[in-house]
Structure 1
Amino acid sequence: MLPKDWRRATLGEIAHVTSGGTPDRGKPEYWGGDIPWVTTGEVQFNTITDTVEKITAAGLRNSAAKRFPPGTLLMAMYGQGKTRGQVAKLGIEATTNQACAAIQLRDGQDCDFFFQYLSFQYEALRELGNAGTQKNLNGGIIKSLPVPVPPYDEQRRIADILSSWDEAIKTTERMLSNSQRRSRDLMVSVLSGHRRFPGLSTKWRYEDFDAIFQRIATKNTVHNTNVLTISAEHGLISQRDYFNKSVASANLSGYTLLHRHDFAYNKSYSAGYPMGAIKPLLAYEAGVVSSLYLCFRLREDVDADFDFFRHYFEAGLLNQEIEGIAQEGARNHGLLNVSVTDFFKLQLHVPSAPEQRRIAEVINVARAEEALLGAQVRSLRQEKAALMSQLLTGKRRVKFSEVESEAQV
């Protein structure tokens, strides 16, 4: 139920909705000009102030591309992954490809308010796509989208409030990005031995992997049902928590049983992990993994620091060694061909145990700061989403100052 002074309309009633086009790629004279040309990959809940590609006046004349003024809202009608349904606002005059819907609001409507509203409707918009193997939006769907229409001054006030939250989120995201960069630089410098600590000058040594770690090959005879998978962000995590279901086979007796602080190496390469990922079990007391994983733990008779090696593996300092034993071109369904024998004879470049502990302490502090900033970003996003659900639906009304109230009279 909308407030009495609000109304409901379709987007097509309050805006002109169209799309752009792509000049002929076979004609070089159409490309490399000075006219910005937006693709859906650049539509990311942002204000667009520049584009990767630009077209010429000839490309504009001889294609369906159109110039759109600053303040035009763009919506990705189709594209890879999460692209479909994302929105952006033009901060410059630009053209677009045909996969972008261009939404030019009519007089009396605020582009920032509707940018916030359409961003808020992202998940719902994605569900409006055409049925098929790849759901897409189209101009007809976008024009028929119902939208709330508050009075203009209230649109502006709501947009200003939500924009202030966006600024707070962006500021915290920048702080997080800087913290992550500092952490990466710190890890590389101290884990490689390039940066040393006062009083810790013992020469680093090379050790065989199996001199520090022992292989785990314990089968799941205790009928543990906590099947684990490796996530880049979460490490070893239960499939039930990650997929909301278990995707493992019903018979888990052949799986390897792990306990807290054990490691597992997934030989499957992925973005950020070109030689596979090594992750420790931290979130649970125990769990089981596929026998395709190579599992190991620190030897009890070796003085070594768990956190040091957790960071050592995460920094990719074992990648060059693994690359040296992975058979050239022998990749089976995305898995590197790494033998158990070769893996446990890899060389580790390590300092003394006291220096390991000092390095781990410093990195842990840096990563804790990073985690805190990450939590702040998530909290700000959640708080903004809650506020959007109130302000953009009229459930919570904005207050105007006396000056603003007089201006509306």
Structure 2
Amino acid sequence: MLPEGWHRMTVADICQMQNGNGFGPEDWGTQGYPIIRIQNLNGGANFDYYSGPVQTRWLVEPGQLLFAWAGTKGVSFGPAIWSGRTGVLNQHIFKVSAREGIDKNWLYWALRHVTDRIEANAHGFKATLVHVKKSDIDRQEVLVPDLNAQRRIADALAVWEAAIDVAERQLINNCKQKDALSQAFDWGGRRLKNHSEAALRPHASDLFTPISIRRNQNAELLSVTQEQGVIPRRLLDRKVVMPEGATDSYKLVEPGDFVISLRSFEGGLEYSKFRGLVSPAYTVLRAKLPICDDFYRHYFKSRDFISRLSVAVIGIRDGKQISYDDFAFLKIPSPPIEVQRKVADVLNDAEHEIELLANHLEALKAEKRALMADLLTGKRRVRMPDTTAEPEAA
């Protein structure tokens, strides 16, 4: 049942969408208006420029509402408010104009709500991509309140968006601080007295040895990830292809082992807290001597290690392939274990703060999504300026 004063409409009823222009290489230059592409809606700063005649329908001023109708789910597909300089709009993006009686800021949130619905049902070239026709957007249903209610809803959601922006900036700053801490460490302990360079920087083969234990088919399958390290496949958010047949040839990983990834983007060595199996294509490493696991977990993601590794790997598309022989010859830090623990403690504390901020950010986003769905469907109302208003949305 519709709330009193609300109307059931379609996207086509509340706004007009006009496609951008198909600029080709012959139109690109270094002067004139910047050509606004999908990547520029998310902060991309690289532009080609157009200096030819301009049509009003694809001229974009700052503050213009746009809608990318082809892009990545949750990233580039959907509405955006242009914050750059005046430019011209490329194809795959609509210029959106609110119709009479529609608040532009409320329209942005209504289209965000519509975007969630389209993303859930659209079938793109890949699972993460969405590509729809204008008619797919135009026919989407929207519940429309009066103009004053639209403005109150937009103002309420803008407050939440501002809080999320603050949380995102804080998370980015903490990540930068952790990176700065990592760079500031004397990983090899070269400033320590009574320790030779050879002792502080032995070859990796002096500290780690490859392990190949097989025929443990009852152990669970693990996945080697850049973001989460080595984790059970059941914990992955995305679907993975499970192996067919026996896993006798799969290698056993124990807690505390490292696995050399098949592709290196940030170090390429991933740490495991779990017991399980990985593909025989991976190299499993185990420490020969007592070490602080977290020290090396952090070190293998540090710029010091990545820079040393970059000269020893075979470059291939989509990453770098690391062989054990390449890794074994590298000189890596081996300070006294008490130093390892102190370094690990500092970085673990910084890592914990980042996890707390990330969880807080996700909670804010989840609460805003729920509030947005309720406000845009009339299930909850924003308090009126007077005392006779309905309860304020929390």
TM tier, shorter chain?
0.7 to 0.9
Q: Which runs of 5+ in 2 are unaligned?
A: 390-394
Q: Secondary structure at the match of 1:350?
A: coil
Q: 1:220 to 1:379 in 2, by over 3 A?
A: farther
Partner of 2:31: 32
Give the whole-Å Cα distance in 1 for the aligned partners of 2:272 and 2:257: 6
Partner of 1:263: 258
Q: 1:157 aligns with which of 152, 165, 184?
A: 152
Partner of 1:304: 291
Q: CA deviation at 1:162?
A: 0.8
1:190-213 deviation line (CA, Å, top 9, x unaligned):
1545897xxx65545211223222
1:231-272 deviation line (CA, Å, top 9, x unaligned):
221111222221345522331111111122211111323xx3
Give the whole-Å Cα distance in 1 for the aligned partners of 2:355 and 2:71: 32
Q: 1:234 to 1:345 in 2, by over 3 A?
A: same
Q: CA deviation at 1:131?
A: 7.8
Give the whole-Å Cα distance in 2 for the aligned partners of 1:83 and 1:372: 23
Give the whole-Å Cα distance in 1 for the aligned partners of 2:45 and 2:255: 48
Q: Does 1:230 align with 2:227?
A: no
Mean Cα displacement is larger for which, 138-147 or 243-252? 243-252
Q: CA deviation at 1:401?
A: 1.8
Give the whole-Å Cα distance in 2 for the aligned partners of 1:43 and 1:98: 13
Q: 1:342 to 1:103 in 2, by over 3 A?
A: closer
Partner of 1:183: 178
Q: 1:153 to 1:93 in 2, by over 3 A?
A: farther
8 Å Cα contact 1:266/1:292 also seen in 2 = no
Report 1:191-206 matches (<5 A).
192=187, 201=193, 203=195, 205-206=200-201
Q: Secondary structure at the match of 2:300?
A: helix
Q: Does 1:279 align with 2:278?
A: no
Q: 1:394 to 1:56 in 2, by over 3 A?
A: same
Q: Secondary structure at the match of 1:121?
A: helix
Aligned Cα root-mean-square deviation (Å): 3.1
Q: Secondary structure at the match of 1:109?
A: coil
Give the whole-Å Cα distance in 1 for the aligned partners of 2:135 and 2:223: 42
Q: CA deviation at 1:120?
A: 2.6
Give the whole-Å Cα distance in 2 for the aligned partners of 1:236 and 1:153: 52
Q: 1:24 to 1:289 in 2, by over 3 A?
A: closer
Partner of 2:41: 43
Give the whole-Å Cα distance in 2 for the aligned partners of 1:281 and 1:404: 59
Give the whole-Å Cα distance in 1 for the aligned partners of 2:123 and 2:254: 47
Give the whole-Å Cα distance in 1 for the aligned partners of 2:37 and 2:112: 18
Q: 1:353 to 1:11 in 2, by over 3 A?
A: same
Q: Does 1:395 align with 2:379?
A: yes
1:333-382 deviation line (CA, Å, top 9, x unaligned):
976262x3453343212322221111111111111111111111111111
Give the whole-Å Cα distance in 2 for the aligned partners of 1:267 and 1:191: 29
8 Å Cα contact 2:71/2:130 also seen in 1 = no
Q: 1:95 aligns with which of 82, 88, 102?
A: 88
8 Å Cα contact 1:191/1:359 also seen in 2 = no
1:168-216 deviation line (CA, Å, top 9, x unaligned):
11101101000000101111221545897xxx65545211223222322
Q: 2:114 aligns with which of 104, 112, 121?
A: 121
Q: 1:355 to 1:59 in 2, by over 3 A?
A: farther
Q: Which runs of 5+ in 1 are unaligned?
A: none
Q: Secondary structure at the match of 1:9?
A: strand
Aligned-partner residue type, residue 16 of structure 1: Q
Q: Does 1:336 align with 2:329?
A: no
Give the whole-Å Cα distance in 2 for the aligned partners of 1:249 and 1:117: 45
Give the whole-Å Cα distance in 1 for the aligned partners of 2:206 and 2:61: 66
Total equivalences in the alignment: 382
Q: Secondary structure at the match of 1:207?
A: coil
Q: 1:94 to 1:9 in 2, by over 3 A?
A: farther
8 Å Cα contact 2:20/2:91 also seen in 1 = yes
Give the whole-Å Cα distance in 2 for the aligned partners of 1:43 and 1:309: 38
Q: CA deviation at 1:24?
A: 4.7
Partner of 2:233: 239
Give the whole-Å Cα distance in 2 for the aligned partners of 1:97 and 1:309: 47
Aligned-partner residue type, residue 336 of structure 1: Q
Give the whole-Å Cα distance in 2 for the aligned partners of 1:81 and 1:235: 24
Q: 1:53 to 1:321 in 2, by over 3 A?
A: closer
Q: Secondary structure at the match of 2:201?
A: strand
8 Å Cα contact 1:128/1:141 also seen in 2 = no
Q: CA deviation at 1:229?
A: 1.2
8 Å Cα contact 2:8/2:144 also seen in 1 = yes
Partner of 2:331: 347
Q: CA deviation at 1:395?
A: 0.8
Q: 1:3 to 1:201 in 2, by over 3 A?
A: farther
Give the whole-Å Cα distance in 2 for the aligned partners of 1:103 and 1:195: 60
Give the whole-Å Cα distance in 2 for the aligned partners of 1:193 and 1:121: 54
Q: 1:190 to 1:249 in 2, by over 3 A?
A: farther
Q: Does 1:73 align with 2:65?
A: yes
Aligned-partner residue type, residue 375 of structure 1: N
Q: 1:220 to 1:122 in 2, by over 3 A?
A: farther
